[in-house]
A = this chain, B = another copy of it.
Amino acid sequence: MKHYTHPLDMEEAFDDMPDAEFRYLLAGHRIKIMPVRVDILRVLSREKHPLSVVSIIEKIAKSHNGISPYNEATIYRSLEGLTKAKLVNRILIDPDRSYYEIAFGRKHHHHVVCTSCGEIEDVTGCISHDLHDMARSSGLKKFRHIESHSLEFFGICLPCNKEKNI
């Protein structure tokens, strides 16, 4: 059997990560290994960028003869559980719907979102250390522990920009 780097030590590209790895991760996080969870982790791990819930369902459907075997409620509950287990992250980029991305194996990063078409691109090299220092040092009387941060950029992507200048 081929040996796979443990996901938590990897960088990018999970294209061929076998389901066994996801089961391993789920077990490690003390969550029951349910098919829907494995499917979600597989779908998200193959994406470079955050996916909306609808997209997640579509991708799952594609790998199951075009029909998702799971109820939507199940998907939502699963995403909630995976988020609590910190295996996926819920991303705050759109006030109208939720986006999720895999939470392990990738460099710390953030996103740029096109305010015109919604295209999402990664921003790597986050200065998160500086950010946390900043958060801790600037008039924060009531907070000592910062658990996480969200850093999102918004702009117009080149294709959309060109379209407008026609």
Interface residues of A (CB under 8 A from B): 90, 92-93, 95, 98, 112, 114-115, 119, 121-127, 130-132, 134-135, 137-159, 161
Count of this chain's copies in the oligomeric assembly:
2
A157, B142: Cα distance in complex, Å: 5
30 A-B pairs in the complex with CB atoms less than 8 angstroms apart: A95-B98, A112-B143, A121-B140, A121-B141, A122-B139, A123-B134, A123-B138, A123-B140, A124-B139, A125-B134, A126-B134, A127-B127, A127-B131, A127-B134, A130-B130, A131-B153, A142-B157, A145-B155, A145-B161, A146-B153, A146-B154, A147-B154, A147-B155, A148-B153, A148-B154, A148-B155, A149-B153, A149-B154, A150-B152, A150-B153
